[in-house]
Structure 1
Amino acid sequence: MNDHGHGHGHGHDQAEVLDLDAEILAEHTASIIEWLPIESPRQIVDLGCGTGAGTFALLARFPEAHITAVDASVDHLRRLREKACEQGLTDRVSTVQADLDAEWPDLGSPGLVWASASLHHMADPDRVLRQVHDTLAPGGLLAVVELAGMPRFLPDDVPESRLEQHHHDERVPHRGADWAPLLTAAGFTVEGERTVTVHIERSAAVERYAHASLRRLLDPEALHRVLQRDDIALRTERTVWAARK
């Protein structure tokens, strides 16, 4: 899932976090896609695709589908194309570089639009949802996947966890929003909503993810102290809305 999928930002560091996110949350992402009320869409758009967590999970789930991956970041799209090449999937993926706050590209008439951790970055989510509604094929599905908050790694009783919480509250105004009313206002019928609680115990990948996320908040000494803890784990919630045109 591409929490920074709008593509403004920290370049290589950000791409590393997105790749770790994809690796650690792969099972959760697959289960969310499995849950979607849709049979076998032939054309899919991954809106704010980041480095391709959703793209490759969708390709695996829908082997007949072609995916158009859209992101503002040239670097993220390049990494996605490299992965597609490594996996022999280049004929099933197209990339479109676009800042969706500025322009709306021609994306055809997809049967499924997947927007994972990308809509909360948009300056005007209502406008983007209306654009998605116009773009979808008749009866098409929009899947919105959002984190309730940024991933957290520390138990609540650790002093540094307050920094985590404060940092996450400030950053993005639409994060944690209830998207159902916005989807309805844009003309969609919300057919399903599901919240998945994520708690993944410490592993080498979780350690790398914690390091990449916490080094922006903590000084090196505090970071080292925190990373020595046995109770580091990835803690977050993801909510998915399935909305029909």
Structure 2
Amino acid sequence: MTHDSYQHQHQHQHQHGSGDARHDEAGLADLLDLDAEVAGSYLDEVTEWAARHAPEAPRTIADVGAGTGAGSLALARRFGAAEVVAIDRSALMLERLRAAARGRGPADRLRLVRADLDVAWPAIGAVDLAWAASSLHEFADPERVLRDVHAALNPGGLLVVIEMDALPRFLPDDLGLGRPGLESRCHEVVAEAHWNAHPDWRCHLERAGFEIAGQRGFTIEPSPAPPATGRFARAYLSRIRSVVEGRLAADDLDVLDRLLADDDPEGLLRRRDLTVRGTRTAWAARRP
């Protein structure tokens, strides 16, 4: 999944150059890996759903904005004879994917392509199945990217688009400190900053020439919470912290800082009341 997405924080087609940007890119890669570790079990469910709409035995699959490659690896597991072409702008992300695939069966069916899809579609040949998980809304001109994917697909080929319906939630309403509802207030602030902003892609897909084959929601709520939930919550809420500065009440910021602290007994890494809750929507669109 790549894109597991988070607007501004979970973006795969990101800028680089400066040391700070590279550090942020590494932090984003860590967040994507934690997302896959904690919430990635739904990928088996969504790839099974995609297989019902996809051409039989697809030979070439393109992961559009692959990030660190959870989606690429899930697709390789589901479609055992297919070559998976993982496309991303970031060399660091693709190297993470290469390392994750090393020693696993799908590694010999994985092709990594570094390309900025805001500039041009890469010369990867014809595709039977394309996958864009939390990446489409990151492009400067998603309509053009959709047309590029349509042109790359063989007739009868399928594109699967996945987006988060809302940002993931980790905290109980009452933390036992501060005012109840902290996480909801954080989400209100980041919504004003347009994190994870995306449209209903149905009409955009149809304008690009696709026929809608299916649409479905997927619930992510692993139980019990995986062991890495605390690390995922801390990585995620740390990124939120920079956005809510100056926009959240001072008492809420104090509680958030306690949650993020390594040495606080109420810190996220020590809590036992964390969960992971989220929903995502998938669209399956066929090239006639």
Question: What's the TM-score, normalizing by structure 1?
Answer: 0.92
Contact 1:46 / 1:114 at 8 angstroms: preserved in 2?
Answer: yes
Partner of 2:29: 15
From 205, 210, 230, the equivalent of 1:188 is 210
From 163, 169, 184, the equivalent of 1:161 is 184
Partner of 2:285: 243
Cα distance between partner residues in 2 of 1:61 and 1:132: 21
Cα distance between partner residues in 1 of 2:36 and 2:258: 28
Q: Does 1:28 align with 2:47?
A: no
Partner of 1:125: 142
Residues 161 and 231 of structure 1, relative CA distance in 2, 3 Å threshold:
farther
**1:67-216 residue pairs with structure 2 within 5 A?**
67-156=84-173, 157-172=180-195, 174-175=197-198, 177-201=199-223, 202-216=225-239
Cα distance between partner residues in 2 of 1:21 and 1:28: 11
Q: Which has the larger radius of gyration?
A: 2
SS of aligned partner of 1:234: coil
Identity of aligned residues (%): 44
CA RMSD of aligned residues (A): 1.9
Query: For residues 181-206 of structure 1, what are the alpha-carbon distances to aligned partners after superposition, in whole Å with 9 as ceiling and x for unaligned?
Result: 11011110001000012223533211
Q: For residue 242 of structure 1, what is the amino acid of its counterpart?
A: A
Shift in Å at residue 169 of structure 1? 4.5
Q: For residue 218 of structure 2, what is the amino acid of its counterpart?
A: V
Contact 1:5 / 1:71 at 8 angstroms: preserved in 2?
Answer: no
Cα distance between partner residues in 1 of 2:29 and 2:211: 34
5+ residue gaps in structure 1?
Answer: none
Q: How many residues of Structure 1 are paired with residues of Structure 2 in the alignment?
A: 244
SS of aligned partner of 2:63: strand
Q: Does 1:223 align with 2:265?
A: no
Residues 186 and 232 of structure 1, relative CA distance in 2, 3 Å threshold:
same
Contact 1:21 / 1:209 at 8 angstroms: preserved in 2?
Answer: yes
Q: Which moved more, 1:223-232 or 1:53-62?
A: 223-232
Q: For residue 200 of structure 1, what is the amino acid of its counterpart?
A: P
Query: For residues 167-191 of structure 1, what are the alpha-carbon distances to aligned partners after superposition, in whole Å with 9 as ceiling and x for unaligned?
Result: 245244743x211111011110001
Q: For residue 145 of structure 2, what is the amino acid of its counterpart?
A: V
Partner of 1:233: 275
Contact 1:198 / 1:236 at 8 angstroms: preserved in 2?
Answer: yes
Contact 1:67 / 1:94 at 8 angstroms: preserved in 2?
Answer: yes
Question: What's the TM-score, normalizing by structure 2?
Answer: 0.79
Partner of 1:6: 12
Q: Which moved more, 1:228-237 or 1:91-100?
A: 228-237
